Amino acid sequence: MTRAAKLTFEDKTIELPVIEGSEGELAVDITQLRAEMGLITLDPAFGNTGACTSAITYIDGEKGILRYRGYPIEQLAEHSSFIETAWLLIFGKLPTRAELDRFSAQLTAHAPLHESFKHHFEGFPVNAPPMAMLSAMINTLSCFHPEAQDLDEAAFFEEAARLVSKVRTIAAYSYRRSLGLPFIYPDPKLRYVANFLHMMFSMPYDQHVATREVIEALNLILLLHADHEQNCSTSTVRVVGSSRANLFASCAAGVSALWGPLHGGANVAVLEMLEAIHKGGMSAEQTLALAKDKKSGFKLMGFGHRVYKNFDPRAVILKRSADKVLGQLGVNDPLLDIARRLEELALSDSYFVERMLYPNVDFYSGILMRAMGIPTNMFTVIFAIGRMPGWIAHWKEQHETEGMRIARPRQIYTGPRETNYLPMAERK
């Protein structure tokens, strides 16, 4: 028997169906509320609003659970790779060996950019933000591949592989452009992450060979960021995609949403905070004291999470990786020393423990990428590379949903009522 919630307003009552998700979460279906009652809901920032049903990612923030297509993130981090996880998210199941080999071959084939792309990069100022270039160049793919507008199953596979592959090449070229360095072509002998690092750091006369530890750590960062349910950028991809915008345009919009400092820029904020602490000569102990003083106005970046009220499972995984990689790399960096001391003190401080303000994924991803030699202005770009499979998966799921409608939120108007136009001479 279908459960329902009753809403009464003045002399009218409506029964609203209650939808139950596969993990037991409940939602009130209000699709007929305006038509039958003349009411809409008001939910700024959509914190209590479900915009869709989705079979891609499940999060339980109270229990610290994150699953991709039902698979616990802990298992995927231990046994899978970013590319296998990308397939899982986009196509809904773990790939067979043949499917994974075919997907990997397509990624290799699509890694190079059309030579004309170089001219587009040359049009940007040398100091242009890499995220601005990334969004613009992903949108530019629509010009080189106009067939992406209407995709059958085979064509979608091709375009998904093309975007997952080319996003790292565009990212690397954006970085090279920002430094005025020559572009480095992808190497078909290298796998996904190693190839990206090669395009980032090699020179024509000196090929960069990343260590196994760095490759594994970056692969893990990408995997852990591959999807996170209906966050700001994923919701943006869905809103833009609901107009039937093509895959490239929709994901370019996702990059723009991710660019915001309240979303993808969180790990950048961690490093900026560490730099400020270092320059100011503060100790980790003094920093935590400031964070606990509500009158100080100081905010400790990289601790706590809007969704996870217990712990961020991705942070737990990255902490182990950071412990391992930083030890192996032997990096001598005062900012990393401050970060590790802040972590040590916060995890044993009752103020933070009682409030469950644990280091989050942005804290550990920031210090890991710094240890790898990735510059701060590329942190959000790395995030975008990792999140690309999730965006593609949501775009695909939305387009396969029967009866999909263009997104069109309502509003509560609070401006002036009808006002008569006054000629200039009569205005005060």
Residues 168 and 192: beta-carbon distance below 8 Å: yes
CA 143 to chain centroid, in Å, comes to 25
Distance of alpha carbon 83 from alpha carbon 164, whole angstroms = 9
Cα-based distances in Å from 296 to 262, 277, 299, 347: 21, 14, 9, 21
Query: Cβ atoms within 10 A of the Cβ of 92, count?
Result: 13
Helix (H) or strand (E) holding 155: helix 153-179
- Token pair recorded at residue 381: 């770009």
Pairwise CA distance, residues 392 & 155, whole Å: 14
* Stretch (H or E) spanning 68: strand 65-68
* C-alpha dist (Å) from residue 354 to 210, 326, 346: 41, 29, 11
**29 given a catalytic annotation:** no
Largest alpha-carbon pair distance within the chain? Answer: 80
Residues 242, 326: Cα–Cα separation, whole Å:
43
What span, in angstroms and rounded, lies between the C-alpha atoms of 383 and 400? 26
226 class by beta-carbon count within 10 Å (0-12 exposed, 13-18 middle, 19+ buried): buried
Q: Choose the catalytic residue: 110, 120, 228, 305.
A: 305
Q: Which of 110, 198, 362, 394 is catalytic?
A: 362
**Can 394 be counted among the known catalytic residues?**
no
Using N-to-C axis directions, what is the helix angle for 232-241 and 379-399, rounded to 10°? 40
Please give the positions annotated as active site: 305, 362
